[in-house]
């Protein structure tokens, strides 16, 4: 059984380790998600890359835009890997992916870049690609119609979530490859595992796990416990990242 990380650094280090393990097991399309709004993509990427080192100078990093790529080059200084921006069509895909590249890391790609990201992944072939904190599946951008379903079937649904951590008020949703998806709940300033599932649960399924048995009042007609908002503040769990 995987345990929840005790610090942000521990979470990011673990995510890099399991990404490398999943690649070794043959996965070529992976994503790592630390769903904590307060985190800055650049800092998360920097910490992730400190542990994701197996490809060295054959790793290519893609940022969503030229500005973010330029900022990384300035702030990170002399690094072994190559830093590029996705380009959103400005640079031909075949020029972005080079024969000597062995692996690719996309930093916080969004639905705005999803078509170019898909093209780059197709050009990459069987070489491993890791998406760090992607937001590719935005319903407002890709929709729920035929085109959106096709995009999910051929691309988005084929990305393996190897590390996922999201806090929902006093609840944490967690997955650390190769274990199952886990739902944890805060009890007395600690977290307790309350469910494991073979796939990522929806918000409704998490609510059913947490509150399904509490929807009916007991025989004494005592009121059911008040159901907290599933999207309330994350501050309680974030306290565990400050120690």
Structure tokens at 183: 């739902």
CB 22 within 8 A of CB 160: yes
CB 181 within 8 A of CB 187: no
Rounded CA-CA distance 51/21 in Å is 12
The CA R_g of the chain, rounded to the nearest whole Å, is: 20
Instruction: Please tell me the pTM assigned to this model.
Output: 0.85
Give me the residue label for tokens 């048995």: 213
- Output the tens digit of pLDDT for each of the chain's 243 residues: 678 998 889 999 999 999 999 999 999 999 999 998 778 899 999 999 999 999 999 999 999 999 999 999 999 999 999 999 997 667 777 789 999 999 999 999 999 899 999 999 999 999 999 999 999 976 555 656 778 888 888 999 999 999 999 987 789 999 999 999 999 998 887 889 999 999 999 889 998 998 874 443 333 344 444 444 333 434 444 554 444
Going from the N-terminus, what domains does the chain have, and what CATH number goes with each? 1-243 (3.40.50)
The number of residues making up the chain comes to 243
Q: What residues have CB less than 8 Å from 7, skipping those under 6 apart? A: 240, 241, 243
CA-angle at 196, arms to 172 and 169, nearest 5°: 15
């Amino acid at each position: 059984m995987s345990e929840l990380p005790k610090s942000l650094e521990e979470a990011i280090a673990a995510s890099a380790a399991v990404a490398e393990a999943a690649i070794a097991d043959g996965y070529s399309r992976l994503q790592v998600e630390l769903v904590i709004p307060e985190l800055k993509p650049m800092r998360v990427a920097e910490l992730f890359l400190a542990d994701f080192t197996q490809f060295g100078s054959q790793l290519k990093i893609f940022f969503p835009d030229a500005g973010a790529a330029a900022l990384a080059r300035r702030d990170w200084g002399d690094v072994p890997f190559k830093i590029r921006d996705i380009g959103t069509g400005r640079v031909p895909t075949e020029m972005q992916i080079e024969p000597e590249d062995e692996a690719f890391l996309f930093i916080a790609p969004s639905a705005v870049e999803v078509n170019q990201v898909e093209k780059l992944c197709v050009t990459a072939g069987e070489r491993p690609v890791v998406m760090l904190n992607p937001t590719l599946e935005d319903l407002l951008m890709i929709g729920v119609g035929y085109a959106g379903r096709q995009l999910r079937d051929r691309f988005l649904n084929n990305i393996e979530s190897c590390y996922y951590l999201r806090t929902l008020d006093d609840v944490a949703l967690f997955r650390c490859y190769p274990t199952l998806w886990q739902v944890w709940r805060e009890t007395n300033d600690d977290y307790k595992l309350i469910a494991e599932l073979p796939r990522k649960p929806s918000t409704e399924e998490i609510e059913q796990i947490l509150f399904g048995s509490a929807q009916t009042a007991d025989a004494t007609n005592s009121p059911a416990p008040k159901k907290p908002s599933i999207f309330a503040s994350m501050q309680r769990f974030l306290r565990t990242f400050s120690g």
